[in-house]
Amino acid sequence: MAKAKVTKEGLSQPTDPKAVMFRLDWEPSTPDSLIQGMADYQREHGYESDLSSRGGTVGLLEQRMAEILGKEAAMFCPTGTLANHLAVRRHCGTKGRAFVQERSHMYLDEGDGIQRLSSINLVPLATDRVYFTAEELAAAHKKYADSRVLNEVGCVVVESPVRRQGGQIVPFEEMKAITAFCRKEGIGSHLDGARLFMMSAATGIPVRKYTAMFDSVYVSLYKYFGAPFGGILAGGSAFIEGLYHDRRRFGGGIPFAYLIAGLALQGTEGFEERFAEAMDKASKLFEDLNQLESIAIHPFEHGSNIFPMRVAEGVEVERLAQRLRKKGVYIYPKEEAFEGATLLHVNTTVLRRTNKQLVQAFEQALT
């Protein structure tokens, strides 16, 4: 039988358990670690399947996430793309428009999925910027409200952190003003908080303070909670009620979602503390690295767990990356280039080595 040609896209993740990887928000998983995680869950708690994913282990995860996010109800979705999509659909109902950031995942990375599959027009604001202000939102809303043919806005989506803007975040006060405007105008507000926990760790503002402002929120299950895929959509009971019909409409492994729900449940245990420790350690590490003459790592003004690293003239950053890699430290200048800097993502792999060891690795790689 002819074999299909297998091509590999994207980057492989280092599997050495001592590797420190300044990319992505999570610790790299391996087939072994995932299987082990499932075996641990089965031994310690016991999986409960549910072919419709409306109860069992998925139900437990939904309850737990609703509690963490401070919302009345939560629903598992096989992808974050779907969680956002279902949120916009539900907020909009028969209204045909939603405001989003131009740099958002929803606008740039989903192939116009919402526009094409649900006939809702996403209107982009804040082109090439991290966020739009409440004032800009109000102006855009007024402009379109005066159109000859009425096409009402049903939803405003705020993504924060913004992955395509170096993980920078929308300031808390601006979110407050944006969501207050939505309430005043009777427009649904949705937070694409795929990386909400990174934002909270960076600002010190509790997760629930963010979610309380929005009618609905999505958070990722694989970006840091250790599941291989999936997302949670949370909101009021009436908002989530019956939404599983829509979820089913889009398919996506629902009968076996319980397997990954167990992994995500395990991943939530102690995560916020571990991540806070990683952020604290990394900020001390970057201070130490800034003592080296040829490296400068300073946070963005509205940064989260992503830090731009600049090198002095004459330092070849790709060569630096190759030399660091030999020491088990991974930076990605090609893939993570942003405004002339290399972006370093902080995740819990930074806890795998002492700062002294990491500084030494950089020192040696630079000489």
Ligand X SMILES: Cc1ncc(COP(=O)(O)O)c(C=O)c1O
Task: Look up residue 334 and give its two tokens.
Answer: 């090609």
Q: Residues interacting with ligand X, by CB under 6 A?
A: 79-81, 84, 105, 159, 163, 192, 194, 220, 231
Complex with ligand X: residue 144 or 229, whichever CB lies closer: 229
**Closest approach of ligand X to the CB of residue 90, in Å:** 17
The 8-class DSSP code of residue 185 comes to H
Identify the bridge partners of residue 190 per DSSP, sorted by sequence position. Answer: 157, 216
**Closest approach of ligand X to the CB of residue 263, in Å:** 15
**Closest approach of ligand X to the CB of residue 362, in Å:** 28
In degrees and rounded to multiples of 5, residue 158 shows phi and psi of: -120, 120
**Closest approach of ligand X to the CB of residue 150, in Å:** 30
> By CB neighbour count within 10 A (0-12 exposed, 13-18 middle, 19+ buried), where does 127 fall?
exposed
Complex with ligand X: residue 159 or 336, whichever CB lies closer: 159
Complex with ligand X: residue 227 or 361, whichever CB lies closer: 227
> By CB neighbour count within 10 A (0-12 exposed, 13-18 middle, 19+ buried), where does 64 fall?
middle
Complex with ligand X: residue 105 or 353, whichever CB lies closer: 105
Complex with ligand X: residue 71 or 223, whichever CB lies closer: 223
Give the chain's radius of gyration (CA, Å): 21
Complex with ligand X: residue 84 or 216, whichever CB lies closer: 84
**Closest approach of ligand X to the CB of residue 194, in Å:** 4
Complex with ligand X: residue 188 or 230, whichever CB lies closer: 230
Complex with ligand X: residue 76 or 362, whichever CB lies closer: 76
In degrees and rounded to multiples of 5, residue 340 shows phi and psi of: 80, 5
- For 170-200, letters b (16+ CB in 10 Å) and e give bbbebbebbbebbeeeebbbbbbbbbbbbbb
**Closest approach of ligand X to the CB of residue 225, in Å:** 12
CB 105 within 8 A of CB 167: no
Complex with ligand X: residue 58 or 295, whichever CB lies closer: 58
What torsion do the CA atoms of 166, 350, 324, 13 make, to the nearest 10 degrees? -70
Complex with ligand X: residue 101 or 311, whichever CB lies closer: 101
**Closest approach of ligand X to the CB of residue 234, in Å:** 15
How many other CB atoms are there within 10 angstroms of residue 322's CB atom? 13
Position closest to ligand X via CB: 80
**Closest approach of ligand X to the CB of residue 319, in Å:** 30
**Closest approach of ligand X to the CB of residue 109, in Å:** 7
**Closest approach of ligand X to the CB of residue 55, in Å:** 23
CB 160 within 8 A of CB 175: yes
**266-272: long-range contacts, CB 8 A cutoff, minimum separation 24:** 266/37, 266/40, 266/41, 266/226, 267/221, 267/224, 267/225, 267/226, 267/227, 268/64, 268/65, 268/68, 268/225, 271/197, 271/224, 271/225, 272/197, 272/200, 272/201, 272/207
d(CA 192, CA 61): 19
Identify the bridge partners of residue 97 per DSSP, sorted by sequence position. Answer: 121, 153
CB 278 within 8 A of CB 351: yes
